[in-house]
Amino acid sequence: MNQSDDLVQKYINEEHFKFYEYSHFKDVKLLGEGEYGKVYRAIFMNNELIVALKSFRSNTMIKEIANELKLHRRVDKHSNIIRLHGVTKIEDKLNQSSTDYMLVLEYADSGTLRSYLRKNFKYLTWNDKINLALQIVSAIKHLHAENIIHCDLHSLNILVHQKCIKLSDFGLSKRQDEAATSSRILV
């Protein structure tokens, strides 16, 4: 086990994240790719639940994964925040020092808010639009009540599932006390 594995394992143990064997997922299909890794749609075999698996480039991104796990877990009971089910990993049998961790996330069936609005804007009523805005506000209010600042809020980090907002991507988020001491300007 390398240093990166140790750190994620420590967080899994301390924060009581659920760990899922990768073999429990089937029909894994690529959904999209972000700056830090790929996102797949998969079926969790035990209960046929559809999930999203988010991979990271493990060795370089280990601190970000740990940060994302810790902050995300504190807020994911809110219905407008994407649920973090746990973590899985793909072991590279040929390269013992490389392990790819993946977050096991709630699957959002309508993708990002940006693509959802592009497709559906003309069909939405004012009530629908106000409802979406209120759900975003509700998710952000919940983050702030937990002293967390998202730091990367835009329409690609907001997902839509069954017409409901699901805020996602906590990789750059900070606790408010950390943000206050950082030199970065937050908008």
Ligand X SMILES: Nc1ncnc2c1ncn2[C@@H]1O[C@H](COP(=O)(O)OP(=O)(O)OP(=O)(O)O)[C@@H](O)[C@H]1O
- Kindly write out the interface string for residues 114-153 of this chain, putting x where it contacts ligand X by CB under 6 A and - elsewhere: ----------------------------------------
Query: Of these, 156, 163, 164, 175, which contacts ligand X (CB under 6 A)?
Result: 156
- For residue 121, the minimal CB distance to ligand X (Å) is 17
* Contact between 164 and ligand X per CB under 6 A: no
d(CA 58, CA 117): 33
* Contact between 28 and ligand X per CB under 6 A: no
- What residues form the annotated binding site? 54
d(CA 185, CA 187): 7
d(CA 67, CA 32): 22
Compute CA distances 2 → 6, 95, 132, 172, 185, whole Å. 6, 12, 43, 24, 35
In the complex, which residue's CB is closest to ligand X?
34
**Is 152 annotated as catalytic?**
yes
Q: Environment class of residue 168 by beta-carbon count within 10 Å: exposed (0-12), middle (13-18) or buried (19+)?
A: buried
- Kindly write out the interface string for residues 53-82 of this chain, putting x where it contacts ligand X by CB under 6 A and - elsewhere: -x---------------------------x
3-state SS class at 100: strand
Query: Of these, 61, 75, 169, 170, which contacts ligand X (CB under 6 A)?
Result: 169
Residues contacting 183, CB < 8 A, separation 6+:
none
* Contact between 52 and ligand X per CB under 6 A: yes
Residue positions annotated with a catalytic role: 152
